[in-house]
Amino acid sequence: MDKIFIHALKTEAIIGIFDWERQVKQTVIVDIEFGADVRKAALSDSIEDTLNYKRVAKRVLAFIEASRFHLVETLTENIAMLIIDEFGVATVRVALSKPGAIRSSRDVGIIVERDRDDLAAWRRLSGPQSAQ
């Protein structure tokens, strides 16, 4: 399977468990990798035959900026589910880091890898709280 990726998508969000973190936006950086078959697009040279990663980036940025999750785990899971649901990719890998979260480290974060089967299970478990 081919891979399409977006590296170092950077934005600000309310994220964290401490009171002060609920008051100020903090930087988050996201790497996204999509499993895709790009052969049709390579032959047609048409954006209609591939994943429009500019649209994905804009949607993910808007989602993160509007979010107010406590855990990076929750934000990352919701990003993965949103991408599978709205853009129809078969698989996605999302790495989210929060620079400066721990003194003496560059950043901390999480990596999740999800597919369409995970989306169905997530919907069953999360009910009405599914991706916005």
Active site annotation includes 98:
yes
**Region of 93 on the Ramachandran plot (φ > 0 left; ψ -120 to 50 alpha; else beta):** beta
The CA–CA distances, whole Å, from 51 to 6, 82, 130 equal 12, 14, 23
* Enzyme catalytic residues: 98
